[in-house]
Structure 1
Amino acid sequence: METGFTKWIIVITVVLCCLLELIDTSIVNVALTQMMGNLSATQQEVTWVVASYGIANVIVIPMTGFLAEQFGRRNYYFVSVLIFTIASIACGQSTNIWELVAFRFVQGIGGGALMATSQSILIDTFPPKQLPLGQALFGMGVIIGPTIGPTLGGYIVDSNLGWPWIFYVNVPVGILAAIFTLLFIRDPERIKNAIPRPLREIDWAGIGLLILGVGSLQLVLEQGETEDWFESAYINTFVFFSVVGIVGFIWRELTADKPIVDLRVLGKSRNLAVGAFLSFVLGFGLFASVFVFPIFTQRILGFTAAQTGLLLLPGALASGFMMPIIGKALQAGVPQKYMIPVGFTIFFFFTFWMAARISPTAGESDFFWPLMVRGLGLGLIFLPITTMSLAGLQGKDAGQAAGITGMIRQLGGSFGVAIVGTYLERSLMQNRVGQLPNISLYDPETVQRLQAFTQNFMARGFSFEQAQRQAYAALDGILMKQVSIITYSQVFSALGFFFIACLPLIFLIKRVKVTGKISLDAH
């Protein structure tokens, strides 16, 4: 157990690494258009820059317990930092889209390990009485990271530094983290004394099925909307692979003597099983809300990427500020099963507040307090779920549990983005069709509006025919803006109902005290 200066250097190192990993899940989104122009890529090709990173992440995260045991946690963490940092440089140096996709996949391999292993290092760094504080610091990275991504990415794009700098910003932090890892992070005795498995005893079948099942599922979620979902033979093929892989993986891990991911741990703790599902809900709400809000503000209200990012930042910082306070409350004995429903209810309130605030004339001040409420709600959800899921588990069981919940939270985020993205595109068209009967050449108000537009354009020098075409286009623009307002409002409301619908799961939680040591052996 580390103390004093060393403890806080370790804290700074792992929280920064966790932030970097999660920032990179969203930072590229605001630079995709610039990448398309510079790398001569199509819209479909550039989406692989996002997809490849997510696929690598979700494959590596559940295997981190095994890999840390096999190679030593400090060694594995150090190599992962190096992989992430070197891959970041390579991403920035890419000369074509497929080079960038390949290096993003490598970056995701290193990044997945950073998030999962950072949690276990923090837990081993803090004494038992300060365990909730360690979890709170980890939670700061998980909640703040995806929100800072658009802010930082927007600043880089708007300042004309060029898209490679969204990767280069990782380099100094990565170098510093690698040095601090070698100097200050130590393996606990249980990992030092662990005997690596011989190659013949490694669960190669489990690894293969994990890659096939979870990797295919992540690919479907990332590419489904682009490929028109089940209308595409390509997507249907990978849906088949994901079903075969996941079913085979579950069967293999439940029957193998030394599984790569011990799923049997889910049967040892009801709280872990409930916590895994709630982690999915958390990931869904966290990533879906971060995904939909920038699209609305930039497409409909005309905000810049930097403006949107700065709007999201105070709420994320509020969430981070709340984490230590919530950790103290848990340490004082406040039950998780009371805090989680409060967090869900606050998030529900945020979604309906946002649905009410969305309008064509909305400004930055309209969203400040709703986003602050979002940050408070997520803070009250993340930390109680994490401590509840791991409490009572020891040794490798706790390590496996952390990997499983991390993977499920990541998949929840992917499901959230995929479902919300699909709902947006399809609902926009449906709502447009629903509004068309309100616009008719037999409607006096519509005719009056068209005449006013036509006269306005003629006053600017257009001929009558040109002015009339411009008038119809202007009227269509007003219609689409109104349709968009309705659709985005529906999206936020649906997110809120999803959270409320999950509340009955709280009754399945057993009360656990957050005072004992959680040992993340080999994770």
Structure 2
Amino acid sequence: MAQQGFRRWIVVLTVVSAAIMELIDTSIVNVGLTQMAGNLGVTIEDISWVVTSYAIANVIVIPMTGFFQNYFGRKNYYIASIILFTLASYACGIADDLWTLTFFRFVQGVGGGALLSTSQGIMYDSFPPQQRPIASAIFGMGIVMGPTLGPTLGGFIIDNYHWSWMFFINVPFGILATFLCLNFIEKQPQEHNIDRSKISIDQLGILLLAVGIGSLQYVLERGEADDWFDDHTILMLTIMAAISIPMFIWWELKTKNPVVDLRVLKNRNLAIGSILVFIIGYGLFTSIMLFPLFVQRIIGYTATKTGNLLIPGGFITIFIFPVVGRALANGVSPRIFVAIGYIAFIAFCFMMAGYNENATEGLFTIALLVRGVGMAFINAPLINQSISTLKPQELPMGIAFTNMIRQLGGAFGVAVTNTYITQRSAVHRGDLVSHVQAGDMLTTERLNALTQGLMSRGMNAFDAATAAYRNLDLIIQKQALMISYLDTFRLAGTFFIVTFPLLFFLQNRKMDPAAAKAAADAAH
């Protein structure tokens, strides 16, 4: 039943805040890994488990939210997830060793994984059918704002406070969200009389999903850092994923009551939309990871300054989302918005690919504003279009599936980005070194300038000459890294260009009221 007036907006504020809180935690720690590693006495490679464990838990739980909501009731499951997320956040903040922190980050990911799909269902349920595109737009705003605000907030905390506050900050919001959920979110009629004895638990499906998707996520997250198949663990988990995922697909299509009903992928819009959502996840998470690396490692911006640059793009997203939602509610074709969003994101990628170490803050701001426009136009319309032709009973699974695919797209993007940067950096370094030869006039001039500069600071001639060669090598490394970043932005734009024609295979259909009502029950 749709909420009314003040009560509706309390529910909206609660569920959007919970979703943003979960998504912020997917990226907030990225800017603090160095400080965390130093504080805990571990390497950067080891501390990356803090990111990996959360992502693995997230991607396992998201597709199972529909089942858990059926079994426990949507309100009960949602509140329990918020409480689990909040308690795990506190435990992460007080952790004093890596593996305790990693364990509670996994637990936090289990709680957080439920917040996306369940929040989306509650949001839809708070609006009458004709206004649900507006609800989708508001929720989509949270999907984009979370990963965007993560580095901004994380950078501020790292530069001014201890890293543990990246987790403690969740606690008051979690307590408030729990209170508001208990008092303002209503149970659906079927939640009052759940007969769990009649609900079949797909134990094998859950096991295969956890092993297959968990292994795949691990391989994508850790592959580059662990030298891919040269590492025994990566090799074994790849084999496990290659066995478990096909078995999971076979079993879910065969069993009567699957934990994830893959039959919904027979729907053309959802199948094509899932590919596009995967690319959106790739673009969203890759750009949020790649931009801070570029401006911090190449130009030398601080974490706080990097985060501040992301704010204008986030604000333009906030302003555009409601406009998009109203247009969708008035019957404007979602394909138009998705096409504009795609073009904007392609423009962002190639704008960034044209910058260098001399780029100004103004140029970055313009590029990020274009990105913000693209994300505002893509998310809600694409999700609406993807699920618009599903039957009402299929919508909860369709929504959960698109959320899982977006997370996998992000993991794929991070893996591709890390690998591509490493490979392209080696290639460009080789190319640059080939132009640095003994006796070459430009090389000699650069070395002499470096040597004279060091001698002017009091260094003797021999040490200055030796240091000049080291400095020249660092300059070459930095230049090779910069060019590899530009290549990676160009690669992301290419992914969007290649998949752009798929938009025209989506059926252009507005979601009917019955289907829109079912979307509200994304978790029941």
Residue 148 of structure 1 pairs with residue 149 of structure 2? yes
Q: 2:186 corresponds to which letter in structure 1?
A: R
Alignment of 1:90-105 (within 5 A): 90-105=91-106
Paired residues of 1:339 and 1:380 also in contact (CA < 8 A): yes
Question: Does the residue aligned with 1:300 lie in a helix, a strand or coil?
Answer: helix
- 1:316 corresponds to which residue? 314
Question: Does the residue aligned with 1:429 lie in a helix, a strand or coil?
Answer: helix
CA displacement at 1:490 relative to structure 2: 1.0
Distance in 2 of aligned mates of 1:23 and 1:476: 37
- 2:62 corresponds to which residue? 61
Distance in 2 of aligned mates of 1:196 and 1:322: 43
Question: Does the residue aligned with 2:434 lie in a helix, a strand or coil?
Answer: helix
Residue 77 of structure 1 pairs with residue 78 of structure 2? yes
Paired residues of 1:135 and 1:383 also in contact (CA < 8 A): yes
Paired residues of 1:336 and 1:384 also in contact (CA < 8 A): yes
Give the length in aligned residue pairs.
519
Unmatched tracts of structure 2, length 5 or more: none
Q: 2:3 corresponds to which letter in structure 1?
A: E
- 1:169 corresponds to which residue? 169
Match of 2:282 among 268, 272, 284: 284
Q: 1:34 corresponds to which letter in structure 2?
A: Q
Distance in 2 of aligned mates of 1:408 and 1:285: 13
Residue 344 of structure 1 pairs with residue 345 of structure 2? no
- 2:428 corresponds to which residue? 431
Residue 499 of structure 1 pairs with residue 500 of structure 2? no
Paired residues of 2:348 and 2:371 also in contact (CA < 8 A): yes
RMSD, aligned α-carbons? 1.4
- 1:117 corresponds to which residue? 118
- 2:466 corresponds to which residue? 469
Alignment of 1:374-413 (within 5 A): 374-413=371-410
Deviations 1:205-240 (A, max 9, x none): 000000010010011111111111112121010001
CA displacement at 1:280 relative to structure 2: 0.4
Alignment of 1:217-236 (within 5 A): 217-236=216-235
Paired residues of 1:333 and 1:514 also in contact (CA < 8 A): no
Question: Does the residue aligned with 2:186 lie in a helix, a strand or coil?
Answer: coil
After TM superposition, the structure 1 stretch with the greater mean CA deviation from structure 2, 379-388 or 434-443, is 434-443
CA displacement at 1:394 relative to structure 2: 4.0
After TM superposition, the structure 1 stretch with the greater mean CA deviation from structure 2, 52-61 or 473-482, is 473-482
CA displacement at 1:144 relative to structure 2: 0.7
Paired residues of 2:269 and 2:389 also in contact (CA < 8 A): no
Deviations 1:148-185 (A, max 9, x none): 001001100100x2011000000111000000100010
CA displacement at 1:460 relative to structure 2: 2.2
Q: What TM-score do the two structures reach when normalised by structure 2?
A: 0.97
Distance in 2 of aligned mates of 1:107 and 1:16: 16
Q: What TM-score do the two structures reach when normalised by structure 1?
A: 0.97
Paired residues of 1:69 and 1:522 also in contact (CA < 8 A): no
Q: 2:409 corresponds to which letter in structure 1?
A: G
Paired residues of 1:390 and 1:518 also in contact (CA < 8 A): no
CA displacement at 1:245 relative to structure 2: 1.2
Deviations 1:360-380 (A, max 9, x none): 222322200110000101111
State, as a whole percentage, how many aligned pairs show the same letter: 46
Unmatched tracts of structure 1, length 5 or more: none
Question: Does the residue aligned with 1:16 lie in a helix, a strand or coil?
Answer: helix
- 1:303 corresponds to which residue? 301
Question: Does the residue aligned with 2:357 lie in a helix, a strand or coil?
Answer: coil
Distance in 1 of aligned mates of 2:23 and 2:396: 20
Question: Per the alignment, do residues 459 and 38 of structure 1 end up closer, same or farther by CA in structure 2, a change over 3 Å counting?
Answer: closer
Distance in 2 of aligned mates of 1:190 and 1:509: 34
Distance in 1 of aligned mates of 2:274 and 2:448: 59
Paired residues of 1:282 and 1:412 also in contact (CA < 8 A): yes
Alignment of 1:357-372 (within 5 A): 358-372=355-369
Distance in 2 of aligned mates of 1:511 and 1:24: 35
CA displacement at 1:118 relative to structure 2: 0.3
After TM superposition, the structure 1 stretch with the greater mean CA deviation from structure 2, 83-92 or 448-457, is 448-457
Residue 335 of structure 1 pairs with residue 336 of structure 2? no
Q: 2:436 corresponds to which letter in structure 1?
A: I
Paired residues of 1:398 and 1:518 also in contact (CA < 8 A): no
Residue 513 of structure 1 pairs with residue 510 of structure 2? yes
Deviations 1:401-439 (A, max 9, x none): 111111010000000011101111221111000111221
- 2:209 corresponds to which residue? 210
Distance in 2 of aligned mates of 1:143 and 1:320: 9
Distance in 2 of aligned mates of 1:101 and 1:25: 14
Deviations 1:440-485 (A, max 9, x none): 1221121122122222222222221111012112222322232222
Match of 2:480 among 464, 483, 486: 483
Distance in 2 of aligned mates of 1:348 and 1:522: 32
Paired residues of 1:57 and 1:111 also in contact (CA < 8 A): yes
Distance in 2 of aligned mates of 1:274 and 1:119: 21
After TM superposition, the structure 1 stretch with the greater mean CA deviation from structure 2, 452-461 or 399-408, is 452-461
